[in-house]
Amino acid sequence: MATAATERLSRLIFNVRHVPQLLFPPSPSTQHNEAINVWTHLETALILLLRFQQLSQRVDFAQDPHAQPLLIIIAASITYLTFSTLAHLLQAKSEFWHYSFFFMDYVGVAIYQYGSALVHYYYTIEPSWHERVRPFYVPAAVLLAWLSCAGSCYAKYRYHEATQLLGRLCQEAPSGLAYALDISPVIHRIYSTRSAARDDPALLYHKCQVLFFLIGAFFFSHPYPEKWFPGKCHFFGQGHQIFHVFLVLCTLAQIEAVVLDYESRRQIYSELHGDSAHNFSALCLFTVTCSVLTAAYMARKVKHKLSFKEE
């Protein structure tokens, strides 16, 4: 089963022959230090669109309320990948658009954080862990997703290289807490699953998503390998580029894991959540609204700041 799951993940990652050929290879004009950041997320967004098309042939997203969290995580993943692509591609247009596109990127991250928390809570969680975290899990997920957006926007607006530590604290502390909460159902399930059920292919994908995220987080937080090879990683091999690669691998593994959980654990999650799927969808809309309003407010502050500087 583990071998079959590994082969399935490999096919998902590398079988991109349906993606328009104009994406491969990038033209010489796109060979700059943002090329990897743009293309990894753009290609993965297209792969997920194809995956959604495949799933829609056997999953009734319109009529099955239990499919709503799955729809949310797919939409959230495509959203954050698209927003990140736009931020890295267009942020050099002007100083105002530099801030605005990255604020939009942070909105996408917040939506994805809530979507991740939701599917882990809805499909992956074991009843014993659900009993422990039920009173606070979803409200905390909403709050931390918004704080992640607000903290990142504020750090981008307020702090510069001279105060980088404070800026990274504003950005990474809410995201770190959000991830600790979001991934807790996965970690609990991995360690509590009996040995007889450890060949469940969903568990392999969950383990992969945890591993890929931790590796990506390391390269996000540390300037490697450019610190090892000064002046050699301007265009290829930057830590942030490696972070992008492992982040999309994490997303692809996560999607496959929750699809398998959706298909195989229906009796468990239907008993745990009943008809509350619509409530979780409403909270997703609430998270989106708060994050968009926060980003718009910060964009207005940037515009005011820049207009004052020009005077």
Name the residue ranges covered by the structural domains of the chain: 2-9+34-310
**For residues 241 and 126, what is the distance between their CA atoms, to the nearest angstrom?**
35
Angle between helices 239-264 and 266-273 (to 10 degrees): 90
Query: Is the distance from CB of 250 to CB of 209 less than 8 angstroms?
Result: yes
The per-residue pLDDT string of the chain (311 residues; one tens digit each, 9 = 90 and over) reads: 545 554 555 555 444 444 444 344 444 334 455 666 788 888 999 999 999 999 999 999 989 999 999 999 999 999 999 999 998 888 778 888 889 999 999 999 999 999 999 999 999 999 999 999 999 999 999 999 999 999 999 998 887 654 577 777 887 889 999 999 999 999 999 988 775 556 788 999 999 999 999 998 888 776 666 555 565 555 555 666 888 889 999 999 999 999 999 999 999 999 999 889 999 999 999 999 999 999 999 999 998 888 876 65
Q: What integer pLDDT is reported at residue 219 of this predicted model?
A: 82
**For residues 215 and 97, what is the distance between their CA atoms, to the nearest angstrom?**
30
Question: Three-state SS string across the chain, please?
Answer: CHHHHHHHHHHHHHCCCCCCHHHCCCCHHHCCCCHHHHHHHHHHHHHHHHHHHHHHCCCCCCCCHHHHHHHHHHHHHHHHHHHHHHHHHHCCCCHHHHHHHHHHHHHHHHHHHHHHHHHHHHHHCCHHHHHHHCCCHHHHHHHHHHHHHHHHHHHHHHCCHHHHHHHHHHHHHHHHHHHHHHHHHHHHHHHHCCHHHCCCHHHHHHHHHHHHHHHHHHHHHCCCCCCCCCCCCCCCCCHHHHHHHHHHHHHHHHHHHHHHHHHHCHHHHHHHHCCCHHHHHHHHHHHHHHHHHHHHHHHHHHHHHHHHHHC
Query: Is the distance from CB of 88 to CB of 37 less than 8 angstroms?
Result: yes
Q: What integer pLDDT is reported at residue 22 of this predicted model?
A: 39
**For residues 243 and 291, what is the distance between their CA atoms, to the nearest angstrom?**
24
Q: What is the CATH number of domain 2-9+34-310?
A: 1.20.1070
Q: What integer pLDDT is reported at residue 306 of this predicted model?
A: 84
**For residues 136 and 43, what is the distance between their CA atoms, to the nearest angstrom?**
36
